Structure 1
Amino acid sequence: MTGYDYIFAGTGLAGLMVLHEMNKSGVLSGKSVLLLDPEEKDKNDRTWCFWENGAGEWDSVVAKQWFSGFFVNRELRKECFGSGMSYKMIESQSFYNRIFDELKSFPDIVWKQERLLSFVESDLEVIITTDVNTYSGSVFFNSVLDAETLRNKKKYPLLLQHFQGWFVKTSVPFFNHDSATFMDFSVPQNGNTRFMYVLPISDTEALVEYTLFSADVLADAEYENAIAVYLKEKGIADYEIVRKEKGVIPMTTYPFWKGNSKRILHIGSAGGWTKASTGYTFKNSVKQSKRVAAYLKSNPVDFTHFYKPNRFTFYDSLFVDVLYGENQLGCKLFSGMFTKVQPKLVFDFLDEKTSWKEEMKVIWSCPKLPFLKVLLFRLFRF
């Protein structure tokens, strides 16, 4: 059985981001690494978006950025960005290629196209079994999410951010390539939280995505019909679908970190790195990966106490509980935040960079009764 210093199950955003930060900090020097993933990562399989002030460390792989973006509902259209903020999009293939190029200089990194089946920890190692072989590692990073575990933990409501998007190309200029539609709640809600998301790449090209925050996914035809109707209502009749994307992101405050141990760290969505109230992952993966690298450099290996919940974890749990119980409130909730509070404060709140006073401004901009009901339920339940 072959042994390695570090074994990664999954070479998506979290796994490669952790490797990148380990490389920057010198942690990889002289270490053997095994990367396990059933996919080759040789195509654009997803896009990641995030907001940021000014220049950022990932600008070299940013495919497009927008300095203007709008929140829309049936009554208003409000600018969300300003004061140097922009919304940035990274296509996964560019990100993968950058990390792959960085890692070429490490001869002791082994890539295997295998699927994780199980892992067991002992005092001295972790035994990882795949569909092909068995390996041992001193440290194991797992980014493979066990969806069944989430579904079975009724104590922690599970919302899904699920979406399908079309990259469309129109025959004549239609889009404003400098301005994005961050959330468009003017579409029928049908008892859920539903919005359109439009990211123009040029005057004739855009990603048009139909997104829901709800407990259940839809049939493929329902997403596609909604996009087609939206384009028609916007006066776009002559267009080509260049490619499609779809995905499902868990929105939950399930305590993933309780599965961490001395030699095992769950990362990415499997480690709770996805922001429960928004489904955004990229910036949080950057932040947590830096913590991982610093942790490995300055501490004996023991991930038992790597992560600790904070007050934003509590806010997220209230948000998920409210939308899980009353899924139709999403439009009112986001409309309250973006109309009663300056958007910059909303984004700072979502980035967990606000004070208690600022946080109360955002929270009290939302419908109050549903949050009070959830809070009382939690107090009496526990």
Structure 2
Amino acid sequence: MKKYDYIILGSGLSGLLTAYRMATDTWFDDKSILIIDKEIKNQNDRTWCFWEEPKGEFDSILSKTWEKAFVGNHVFQQSFEMNPYLYKMIRSRDFYKLVFDTISCKSNFTFINDEILSWKTIENSVEVQGKNQIYSCNFLLNSFFDVNPILNQNKYPYLKQHFIGWFIKTKKEIFDDSEVKFMDFTIEQDGNTRFMYVLPTSKNEALFEYTLFSEDILEKSVYEKAIQNYLQNVGITDYEMVEKEKGNIPMTCFPFHKQNSECILFIGTAGGWTKASTGFTFFNSNKQSKKLVEFLKTNQNLTLFHRKNRYWFYDLILLEVLHQNNELGAKLFGTLFQKNSIQNIFQFLNEEGTLFSDLKVMLSLPSWVFIKATFRALWKLV
């Protein structure tokens, strides 16, 4: 049985970002790297969006960029210029192609289709049991997400960002494709945090996602009826369905890093790389993959990789608010955008703000909600 230096379980976003960085770093040229997944990723099964300054690492595979963003609820509605940021979109098929084209040129990379059943540490190695065979490595990077550890505790709040999206095409050119509707809370809230997320990719094509931050998944028909109603309310009745997509992203500050060991590191959503307060994945995963590859080059114990920062605590406070008062989401996010510049909010959500600008964002929350949530969050640190 061949022993690899590294095995990456899963060829989703985090696994492939990590593999891509290893493939483009000559330090790993003499390291054997195996990626295992039960399927080959080559379809548009995901749409990732993120904000950053105009020049970016993945600009060659961007599907679309926007300069303006709309945020609104029933009492506050505004369009913002995002300068110096752009809001960027990547479709997963383009990302998969970029990564697989890159690693296919590297003789030290192997990809195997197999279903993973289990893994265990044996002395200083990790043994991975697949459906077809057994694999061995020095270090295992595991992106397989298991929700059970979260469900079997009640210390850390757990919400989901869940959605269904429709890509539609209209006969007439009716969309302003310079502006994304980032959060449109003018729809019925029904006791939850619900918004429409609209990405116009051209004058006559757009993605409409009905999105919730809440505990419970809805019936498929509820999401689709909400999209239909929204389209009708904005006067869009003559359109063609092009694609559909759906997602369910965990939002939690659960300490995933406690599952790590000397030889096993959980990455991606399984490692807490998803932004807990928003469910955004691409930007955080990109940053974490960069840090991880630099860390691997030190050959240190993998339990030393995790570093908790102040944003973990900020996320915990925001999740406490949304968990205890989910119906306040529209007011909460509306207030954040009303009282802060969009640039400060983006810096805050990208975990790149100053302590002063971060506190300004947090203190713009309704004071009684913020104070109660802060005390609940502090109690969890005990």
TM range (shorter): over 0.9
- Pairing 1:369–2:368 present: yes
Distance in 1 (alpha carbons) for counterparts of 2:83 and 2:305? 35
Distance in 1 (alpha carbons) for counterparts of 2:73 and 2:333? 10
CA contact 1:161–1:249 (8 Å) conserved in 2: yes
Deviation at 1:106, TM superposition (A): 1.6
- Pairing 1:220–2:231 present: no
Distance in 2 (alpha carbons) for counterparts of 1:276 and 1:80? 24
Distance in 2 (alpha carbons) for counterparts of 1:189 and 1:39? 37
Q: Scaled by the length of structure 1, what TM-score is found?
A: 0.97
- Pairing 1:124–2:116 present: no
| Map of 2:25 onto structure 1 | 25
| Map of 2:316 onto structure 1 | 317
The 3-state SS of whatever aligns with 1:366 is coil
Distance in 1 (alpha carbons) for counterparts of 2:181 and 2:17? 28
Q: Scaled by the length of structure 2, what TM-score is found?
A: 0.97
Gaps of 5+ in 2: none
The 3-state SS of whatever aligns with 1:80 is strand
| Map of 1:150 onto structure 2 | 150
| Map of 2:51 onto structure 1 | 51
CA contact 1:192–1:212 (8 Å) conserved in 2: yes
Q: How many residue pairs get matched?
A: 381
Call closer, same or farther: CA 1:192–1:308 in 2, change over 3 Å: same
| Map of 2:346 onto structure 1 | 347
CA contact 2:320–2:377 (8 Å) conserved in 1: no
**Which one is further off, 363-372 or 211-220?**
363-372
CA contact 2:2–2:135 (8 Å) conserved in 1: yes
| Map of 1:338 onto structure 2 | 337
The 3-state SS of whatever aligns with 2:117 is strand
Distance in 2 (alpha carbons) for counterparts of 1:379 and 1:323? 16
| Map of 2:68 onto structure 1 | 68
- Pairing 1:91–2:88 present: no
The 3-state SS of whatever aligns with 1:235 is coil
Deviation at 1:351, TM superposition (A): 1.1
Distance in 2 (alpha carbons) for counterparts of 1:229 and 1:284? 33
CA contact 1:170–1:205 (8 Å) conserved in 2: yes
Deviation at 1:28, TM superposition (A): 2.4
| Map of 1:258 onto structure 2 | 258
Call closer, same or farther: CA 1:304–1:89 in 2, change over 3 Å: same
The equivalences for 1:191-340 within 5 A come to 191-297=191-297, 299-340=298-339
Moved over 6 A (4+): none
Distance in 1 (alpha carbons) for counterparts of 2:252 and 2:33? 31
Residue identity opposite 2:98 in structure 1: R
Deviation at 1:376, TM superposition (A): 2.4
Distance in 1 (alpha carbons) for counterparts of 2:283 and 2:10? 18
CA contact 2:67–2:83 (8 Å) conserved in 1: no
How large is the Cα RMSD of the aligned pairs?
1.3
Distance in 2 (alpha carbons) for counterparts of 1:309 and 1:351? 15
Call closer, same or farther: CA 1:153–1:358 in 2, change over 3 Å: same
Distance in 1 (alpha carbons) for counterparts of 2:266 and 2:130? 17
Distance in 1 (alpha carbons) for counterparts of 2:206 and 2:185? 18
CA contact 1:332–1:366 (8 Å) conserved in 2: no
The 3-state SS of whatever aligns with 1:11 is coil
Distance in 1 (alpha carbons) for counterparts of 2:136 and 2:146? 21
Deviation at 1:380, TM superposition (A): 4.9
Distance in 1 (alpha carbons) for counterparts of 2:109 and 2:274? 27
CA contact 1:273–1:288 (8 Å) conserved in 2: yes
Cα displacement string for residues 168-193 of structure 1 (whole angstroms, at most 9, x for unaligned residues) = 01121111111111110000000000
Deviation at 1:355, TM superposition (A): 1.9
Deviation at 1:236, TM superposition (A): 0.4
Call closer, same or farther: CA 1:196–1:133 in 2, change over 3 Å: same
Cα displacement string for residues 235-281 of structure 1 (whole angstroms, at most 9, x for unaligned residues) = 00011110100000000000111112211111100010000011111
Distance in 2 (alpha carbons) for counterparts of 1:300 and 1:376? 39
The 3-state SS of whatever aligns with 2:370 is helix
Call closer, same or farther: CA 1:150–1:251 in 2, change over 3 Å: same
CA contact 1:15–1:143 (8 Å) conserved in 2: yes
Distance in 2 (alpha carbons) for counterparts of 1:100 and 1:379? 44
The 3-state SS of whatever aligns with 1:27 is helix
Residue identity opposite 2:70 in structure 1: F
**Which one is further off, 372-381 or 1-10?**
372-381
How many percent identity over aligned positions?
A: 44
Residue identity opposite 1:334 in structure 2: F
Distance in 1 (alpha carbons) for counterparts of 2:370 and 2:55? 37
Distance in 1 (alpha carbons) for counterparts of 2:153 and 2:96? 33
Distance in 2 (alpha carbons) for counterparts of 1:80 and 1:162? 25
| Map of 2:10 onto structure 1 | 10
The 3-state SS of whatever aligns with 1:145 is coil
Distance in 1 (alpha carbons) for counterparts of 2:20 and 2:377? 40
Distance in 2 (alpha carbons) for counterparts of 1:193 and 1:227? 16
Deviation at 1:17, TM superposition (A): 0.6
Distance in 2 (alpha carbons) for counterparts of 1:378 and 1:77? 31
Residue identity opposite 1:154 in structure 2: N
Distance in 1 (alpha carbons) for counterparts of 2:169 and 2:91? 18
The 3-state SS of whatever aligns with 1:265 is strand
Distance in 2 (alpha carbons) for counterparts of 1:378 and 1:343? 26
Deviation at 1:379, TM superposition (A): 4.2
Gaps of 5+ in 1: none
